[in-house]
Amino acid sequence: ELESTRSEAEAARKAEDDLFLQALRGCRMESELFNRLEAQRIETERIAQETVLLIEYPEDVGSTSVKGKAPMEPDVDDKLKVLEEAIGAQRSDRQVLAGKV
């Protein structure tokens, strides 16, 4: 009877340890995901700041648009679209992460 009780206690402790390890692995994975998302957010912000600095407005004042803004180069417009898509993906990833927390 003592041996049976001891075996049950060991089995219960092992099951508890397994649950703890599983929870710890889940936390580690979420932490890694969060760190990757944070690095991606920082990189996206850096790219956005660089893009703003790289935009070159034409020197010809007469070539401005109706709203008084200089027309964007097609390449800059493409870069902005890529950034918008990256920001959208990042928001989606954050929502997934927030759902896990």
DSSP annotation of 66 reads T
User: CB burial class (10 A; 0-12, 13-18, 19+) of residue 95?
Assistant: exposed
pTM: 0.43
- pLDDT for 56 equals 58
Number of domains in the chain: 1
Buried b (16+ CB within 10 A) or exposed e, 20-41: eeeeeeeeeeeeeeeeeeeebb
Q: What residues in the chain have per-residue pLDDT under 70?
A: 56-73, 101
Q: What's the full length of the chain, in residues? A: 101
- Domain extent, residue 35, equals 2-100
pLDDT at 61: 46
